[in-house]
Amino acid sequence: MKNATKCLHAGYTPKNSEPRVVPIVQSTTYVYDNTEEVAAVFDDPTKSLIYSRFANPTVMAVEEKIAALEGGVGAMCTTSGQAATLLSVLNICEAGDSIISTTEIYGGTVNLFAFTLKKMGIECIFIDRNASDEEIHAAFKPNTKLVFGETIANPALTVLDISRFAAIAHAHHVPLIVDNTFATPILCKPIEFGADIVVHSTSKYMDGHAVQVGGVIVDSGNFDWESGNFPGITEPDESYHGLCYTKQYGKMAYILKARMQLMRDFGVYPAAHSAFLLNLGLETLSVRMKQYCENAAVVAKYLAQNDKVERVIYPGLPGDACYALAQKYLKGASGVISFVVKGGKEAAMRFMNSLKLASNEVHVADIRTCVLHPASETHRQLTDEQLVAAGIEAGMVRFSVGLEDVDDILADLEQAFAKV
Ligand SMILES: *Cc1c(COP(=O)(O)O)cnc(C)c1O
């Protein structure tokens, strides 16, 4: 099946007389005829359902759809993108380990990696996306367990050279984890370029309608965990009566460990109703992504020609620093455009306050056009050095082009610029 078909049909195939639409199974638990059967399910929870803290039929239909779209062997949904990133790391890292991440990542992920993981004894070594292979190789330590980057970085809008980072990670026998939130599997499938694990905030384009906060982890099934680097996956799990994930589940080892061990312990599993809403968004993801890209290309061109704009960052724009990478990795550059208004922070804020159609909100990738000021909002907690490293300037505006008629979006921009 192609993307558009998977969006509609993957993950749920009703049988004779069953509901056409994925049903909302809003139940915490599942009934069995006898205790022996319940015991058997505890021994191998992949066979049936026990408790909705870590598995639920509505959520699992969505997981299967996303795994199919990304080309992975399995997926696990979480209550937020942040939870997905956290669990994707904790699944293979513990106190005393280190990870490597590019600097141009989502602000929330910077906080998680630089501060919260540090308190948990996991060190993050940040590297410049443009560092040479030698420099990146030199950042590895014997305890490094993974490399992390974003396909299209939020909000720097730089494009990750996925194949290069995958090759470097694999040379050190560690996986590459890619946050594919902005691209979605419609515009890029990181697994095809060597990424081992893909994470998403489903709160963004996947949902698209701003009705649920969620995340997902997708396992490619391709990474070889047997290097000796990952005893948590290859050795018996004493918290699961000696279960050995690689032996028992082969290619599904990583994603099933995440569910059976971490989701069991942390319980950050979405409600069935949230998964139902996410599924509605996913059904139209393919058509929506095409239109976001089309609208954004027009808006980016308009901004590039506007003399009140210092600089436009949109990897789909010829001349953009990441244009060549976008051509290689993306089937479209998404609907998000960053630009720097001449006159710095004050001018940027005056411009933003003058917008009428585009709403000021802490969100992105919505069906409606929205705008935010990273330096004073989403990335407010970052130090000046971290802001520079994340590619954020004081006058930078992050403009998320929606699915309104593009002429109306341009008219709104025009009247707001007139007030700057
Ligand atoms: C929003 C976002 C996140 C965090 O997701 P939440 O669902 O808000 O927790 C992670 N990565 C990227 C790229 C994002 O845009």
Cβ burial of 300 (10 Å; 0-12, 13-18, 19+) is: buried
The answer to whether the CB of 78 is under 6 A from ligand 1 is: no
Q: Give the chain's domains with CATH numbers.
A: 3-280 (3.40.640.10), 286-417 (3.90.1150.10)
How many helices (H) and strands (E) in the chain?
A: 19, 12
pLDDT digits (tens, 9 = 90+) for 84-107: 999 999 999 999 999 999 999 998
The answer to whether the CB of 400 is under 6 A from ligand 1 is: no
Cα 358 to ligand 1 centre (Å): 21
The answer to whether the CB of 154 is under 6 A from ligand 1 is: yes
Mean pLDDT of 33-41: 91
pLDDT digits (tens, 9 = 90+) for 108-127: 999 999 999 999 999 999 99
Cα 108 to ligand 1 centre (Å): 7
The answer to whether the CB of 232 is under 6 A from ligand 1 is: no
What whole-number distance in Å separates Cα of residue 202 and Cα of residue 9? 18
Mean pLDDT of 328-338: 98
Nearest CA to ligand 1 atom 6: 81
The answer to whether the CB of 212 is under 6 A from ligand 1 is: no
Amino acid code (one letter) for 46 = T
What whole-number distance in Å separates Cα of residue 6 and Cα of residue 295? 24
Asked whether the predicted pLDDT for residue 394 surpasses 90, the reply is: no
Amino acid code (one letter) for 72 = G
Which of 204, 216, 370, 392 has most ligand 1 atoms within 8 Å of its beta carbon, as the pocket-test mutant? 204
Q: Which residue has the tokens 């050190």?
A: 172
pLDDT of residue 197: 99
The answer to whether the CB of 151 is under 6 A from ligand 1 is: no
Asked whether the predicted pLDDT for residue 294 surpasses 90, the reply is: yes
The answer to whether the CB of 334 is under 6 A from ligand 1 is: no
pLDDT of residue 416: 97
Mean pLDDT of 390-411: 93
pLDDT digits (tens, 9 = 90+) for 63-85: 999 999 999 999 999 999 999 99
Degrees to nearest 5, angle at CA 202 with 234 and 290: 120
Asked whether the predicted pLDDT for residue 58 surpasses 90, the reply is: yes
| Residue 380's pLDDT band (cuts 50, 70, 90) | confident
| Residue 379's pLDDT band (cuts 50, 70, 90) | confident
Distances (CA, A) of 345 to 303, 364, 372: 18, 20, 12
Nearest CA to ligand 1 atom 8: 81
pLDDT of residue 381: 80
Q: Which residue has the tokens 């990795």?
A: 329
Whether this prediction's pTM lies above 0.95 is answered by: yes
Degrees to nearest 5, angle at CA 222 with 132 and 88: 75
Nearest CA to ligand 1 atom 1: 201
